Structure 1
Amino acid sequence: MNRYAAFLRGVNVGGINLTMAEVATALADAGFAQVRTILASGNVLLESNLPAAAVRAKAEAALRARFGYDAWVLVYDIDTVRAIVDGYPFEPEVDGYQSYVTFVTDTAVLDELAALAAQAGPDEKISRGDEVIYWQVPKGSTLDSTIGKTMGKQRYKPSTTTRNLRTLAKVLR
């Protein structure tokens, strides 16, 4: 069995309200093993013999069928998540700042988001990683940041989701 982290995009924000218990049940009913949720923001640990792409497709289909919303799920094996967190290029804990990782499955979108580094303000840091964008912004400025303003666009929803570095640390425990 492969151990995966599945990150649901847009759960419990913007009108899509799901309890994590319901999400866990839906994914277990879809045939995933050892399903466990972390926090209330769409972080799921699960096991499957399927490759990550098949886990993503199966999880999205199960959530769409159960809850009737356009579910987007990004799936990574746990070692990949650990490598992404370990690769965070900025000081992770800076007073007054939030540290984020945006997971990106579409290379064209990754290129677009990485290009935003040239437009970032003096207090915002943006760096491209392997299938991720690392960024750091002052607390309270996330939605007004260069990345924050861009991520709300419809075109990014199927292929991106963002997590705070502290949330990812909890996923890896």
Structure 2
Amino acid sequence: MTRYAAFLRGVNVGGANMKMTDVAAALTDAGFTDVKTILASGNVVLESGTTAAKVRTKAEAALRDTFGYDAWVLVYDLKTVGAVAEDYPFEAEVDGYQSYVTFVSDSEVLDELAALADDAGPDEKIARGDGVLYWQVPKNSTLDSTIGKTMGKKRYKSSTTTRNLRTLAKVLK
């Protein structure tokens, strides 16, 4: 059995609203074990004996069937999530700034997002990682940042999801 982090896109942050206990029940009913939700923004740790790709497909189907919304889930084994967090290229805790990781499942989309570094404002930092985009912006400017404005476009919804570095630390505990 492998421990996975399943990151649900757009849950309880302006998208689909649901109780995490109901999410955990739906995923348990779908056959996953040791399902645990972290915070209320679509972070789930679970166990499965199959691949991350199959976990994603099965989790998306379970959430669509249970909650009736267009569910997008990005799934990574916990070792990968740990490596992503450890590789954060900027100082993680900077007063007045938010530190983010955007997980990207489509390499073409990752290329597009990484190219935004050229358009970043003077207070924004953007760096490409292995299957992720690292970024840091001043607090209260996330949605107005180069990445924040782009992320909301429909093209990116099925293949990206962003987490604060502090959230990843909680997922990894």
Output the TM-score relative to the length of structure 1.
0.99
- Percent identical residues: 77
1:130-157 per-position Cα deviation (integer Å, ceiling 9, x unaligned): 0000000000000000000000000000
1:51-104 residue CA offsets vs partner (Å, 9 max, x unmatched): 000000000000000000000000000000000000000000000000000000
Aligned partner of 1:120: which letter? A
Q: How many residues matched? A: 173
1:110 counterpart letter in structure 2 = L
What amino acid maps onto 1:166 in structure 2?
A: R
1:108, 1:16 → 2: CA distance? 27
2:104 aligns to what? 104
Instruction: Name the SS for the 2:158 alignment partner.
Output: helix
**CA deviation profile, 1:4-47 (whole Å, cap 9, x unmatched):** 00000000122410100000000000000000000000000000
The answer for the alignment partner of 2:123 in structure 1 is 123
Q: Distance in 1 between matches of 2:3 and 2:103?
A: 18
TM-score (norm 2): 0.99
The equivalent residue for 1:7 is 7
Partner residue in 2 for 1:161: 161
Alignment match, 1:61: 61
Distance 2:13 2:2 in 1: 29
Q: How do 1:17-166 and structure 2 match up within 5 A? A: 17-166=17-166
Letter in 1 for 2:167: T
Q: Whole-Å Cα distance in 2 between the matches of residues 32 and 95 of structure 1?
A: 39
Let me know the Cα RMSD of the aligned residues: 0.5
Structure 1 runs (4+) greater than 4 angstroms displaced: none
Give the whole-Å Cα distance in 2 for the aligned partners of 1:137 and 1:32: 36
What secondary structure sits across from 1:45 in the alignment? strand
Determine the C-alpha separation between the residues in 1 that align with 2:172 and 2:78: 7
> Gaps (5+ residues) in structure 2?
none
Runs of 5+ unmatched residues, structure 1: none
One-letter amino acid of the structure 2 residue matched with residue 64 of structure 1 = R
Q: C-alpha separation between the residues in 1 aligned to 2:60 and 2:39?
A: 19
What amino acid is aligned across from residue 5 of structure 2 in structure 1?
Answer: A
| CA–CA distance in structure 2, aligned partners of residues 36 and 147 of structure 1 | 29
